[in-house]
A and B are shown apart, each in its own frame.
Chain A
Amino acid sequence: MTKKKWSILTYSVPIIALIIVASQFFLVNTSRLNKWKGGGFGMYSEVHYYYNDLIVTNLTKPIDSLILEDRSIATFVMDVKRQPNDANLKHMAELVSKYATSDTIDIQIWRPLIDAKNSRYSRELMGNYQYIKP
Chain B
Amino acid sequence: MSLFNLKHIKETLSDRQNLGLVAFLMLMIQYTVLTGGDHRKIKLFLLFIGLAIILLFVKKITQPILWYVFMLLLVNDLIFDYLVRANHHFFLMYLTAVVIIYLHNNRFEDFVTNIKLLLAIVLFFSGLQKILSPQFTSGDYYYYMISMGFFFKPLLYLTQDISDIMASNRAQIVQLHLLDPNTSEFITLKNVVPHQPIFCRIYAWLSIITEMIGAILILWKPRHVITHSFFVLIIIGIFFTRLESGFLATLAISGIWLTDNYKFRAIYAVLTVIFFGLIITKLGFY
A121 touches B130 (CB 8 A): no
- Given the interface contacts A18-B121, A46-B136, does A10 sit within 8 Å of B114 by beta carbon? yes
A17 touches B121 (CB 8 A): yes
Q: Tell me the smallest distance from the CB of B70 to a CB of chain A, in Å.
A: 14
Q: How far, in whole Å, are A100 and B149 apart by their CA atoms in the complex?
A: 38
A115 touches B140 (CB 8 A): yes
B83 touches A82 (CB 8 A): yes
A122 touches B121 (CB 8 A): no
Q: Which residue of B lies closest to A1 (CB)?
A: B104
Interface string of B248-279 (1 = CB under 8 A from A): 00000000000000000000000000000000
Q: How far, in whole Å, are A127 and B54 apart by their CA atoms in the complex?
A: 51
Q: How far, in whole Å, are A41 and B126 apart by their CA atoms in the complex?
A: 5
A114 touches B188 (CB 8 A): no
B90 touches A120 (CB 8 A): no
B164 within 8 A of partner (CB):
no
A119 within 8 A of partner (CB):
yes
With a CB–CB cut-off of 8 A, which chain B residues contact A17?
Answer: 90, 94, 118, 121
* A90-134 with Cβ < 8 A to chain B: 108, 110, 112, 114-123, 125
* A20-61 with Cβ < 8 A to chain B: 20-21, 33, 35-47, 53, 55
With a CB–CB cut-off of 8 A, which chain B residues contact A112?
Answer: 144
* B112-146 with Cβ < 8 A to chain A: 113-114, 117-118, 121-122, 125-126, 129-130, 132-133, 135-136, 138-144
B163 within 8 A of partner (CB):
no
Q: Which residue of A lies closest to B132 (CB)?
A: A45
Q: How far, in whole Å, are A76 and B195 apart by their CA atoms in the complex?
A: 40
A residues near B (Cβ < 8 Å) are: 1, 3, 6, 9-11, 13-14, 16-18, 20-21, 33, 35-47, 53, 55, 78-79, 82-83, 108, 110, 112, 114-123, 125
What are 30 A-to-B residue pairs whose CB atoms are below 8 Å?
A3-B105, A10-B101, A10-B110, A10-B114, A13-B97, A13-B118, A14-B94, A14-B117, A17-B94, A35-B133, A40-B87, A41-B121, A41-B126, A42-B87, A45-B133, A53-B181, A79-B83, A82-B83, A82-B84, A108-B181, A112-B144, A114-B141, A114-B143, A116-B140, A120-B187, A121-B147, A121-B173, A121-B187, A121-B188, A121-B189
B residues near A (Cβ < 8 Å) are: 82-87, 90, 94, 97-98, 101, 104-105, 107, 110, 113-114, 117-118, 121-122, 125-126, 129-130, 132-133, 135-136, 138-144, 147, 172-173, 176-177, 180-182, 184-191, 196-197, 200-201, 242
